[in-house]
Amino acid sequence: MRRTLLILSFVIAAVAAPLATAAPGAVRCGKLLDVRSGRMLTDQLIAFDANGMITAVGPAGSSAVSGASVIDLSNATCLPGLIDVHTHLTGDPMSSGYQGLGISVPREALIGAKNARLTVRAGFTTVRNVGASGYTDVALRDGIDAGDIEGPHMLVSGPPLGITGGHCDNNLLPFEFHYKAEGVADGPWAARAKVRETVKYGADLIKVCASGGVLSKGDQPGTPQYTLEELQAIAEEAHKLERKVAAHAHGTQSIKDAIRAGIDSIEHSSLIDDEGLALAKQHGTYLVFDIYNDDFILQEGAKAGMLPESIEKEKKIGRLQRENFRHAFQSGAKIAFGTDSGVYPHGDNARQFGKMVEWGMKPLDAIQAATIRAADLIGWSAKAGVLEPEHFADIIAVSGDPLSDVRVLESVKFVMKNGAVVRNDFSVR
């Protein structure tokens, strides 16, 4: 098996196109959105060094870039590279339910390589991957960092932690297979050990399933799974190891338990109530609402092989989640942009911006959720989420004004990551 995988790796390397590398240079932007202030600046130059870090940003007329090439985007609007804090790059929405049992760990890794390219080319230059089998997301992250694969910056969780028979277990096989998912851990000490194990094998953060879910078999989204005691043990162990924790939590009680346990972000947040919102604000906990994928599940879920019970669960919870998103935003809770990509096709991440505006945000609010707010959640404010010196030269550009029509972000035409051009459709005549 190892020899086969090595041969496969050599074949992929041989046929892959060489990836662009960074060199000192600059991008001239006709307009540039300052995501901190919300101001749209005109005729700006962003300079960066050979390490792909921004060195200066300012008016093009007063800036000089000695000995470096300038990419002309004077007819475009530039923004920081976008951040999605809830992705599953090694997953495929068309392999849901029982169809997913046929996907091996090596196959999942190759699927991840494809989806990483789709994601970065859609303008998402940083993602947090929250759940993958066999540490395939660790391998994907490392391959991207090594320059072997085209993709975004990644923070990865490895296998998500969950209870026996819970949302993060695999409940599709009968008893005689005696199978449970890699992240299953019952009880506080077993959960602590599982945190240590996932960190040992390369996880940047810990993903935990605090409640039931939509796409799992045999449970309900609102049902608590991990206890408060178990969640406290997980959070304490992860924070001791300098890792943040993301909790899958649809249910009202599980959301509050996760916040009280000290977990850093609540994923889905579907049935959050006023007490939960007050707790989130008190603790500074980020809420992540994946409010686009309801459309895909209800329209395409059956074709994708999703279980009939999953589609019924989504019918009950989808609109409630969107209503609670609006209420959470109006209440002043901290919200970061996360889409649950892999439930819907990768590369369509930006479709969520329109939903966020439809359900109460202004375009700038939604953009800030995917830039400065997301960077704050993942602990990368010092290097991502803004176009400022000493940050990644991660730049995207679109035609039109995203502050007037946020849906232009669904058609990103230019992407730069770390000073290297990933795509430039503006150069095509």
**Active-site residue numbers?**
207, 340
Here the tokens at position 43 are 């005729």
Given a contact cutoff of 8 angstroms between Cβ atoms, the answer to whether 243 and 199 are in contact is: yes
Question: Rounded CA gap, 191 and 185, in Å?
Answer: 5
CA distance 343 to 95: 10
| H or E stretch at 169 | none
Question: Rounded CA gap, 141 and 149, in Å?
Answer: 9
DSSP string, 74-121: EEEEEEEPEEEEEE-TT--GGG-GGGGGG--HHHHHHHHHHHHHHHHH
Look up residue 218 and give its amino acid.
G
Task: Measure the CA–CA gap between 119 and 128, rounded to whole angstroms.
Answer: 12
Residue 182, classed as helix, strand or coil, is coil
| Strand positions, DSSP E, 211-298 | 244-249, 265-268, 286-288
Residue 330: left if φ>0, alpha if ψ -120 to 50, beta else—which one? alpha
Residue 379 burial (C-beta neighbours within 10 Å; 0-12, 13-18, 19+): middle
Burial of 64 (0-12, 13-18, 19+ CB in 10 A): exposed
For residue 212, give both structure tokens: 């039931």
CB of 384 closer than 8 Å to CB of 126:
yes
User: Which residues fall within 8 angstroms of residue 169, CB to CB, at 6 or more apart?
Assistant: 162, 163, 180, 181, 184, 216
Cα angle 109-418-386, degrees, rounded to a multiple of 5: 110
* Main-chain phi, psi angles of 41, to 5 degrees: -90, 150
Q: Which residues is 211 bridged to in the sheet?
A: 224
CB contact at 8 A, 422 and 413: no
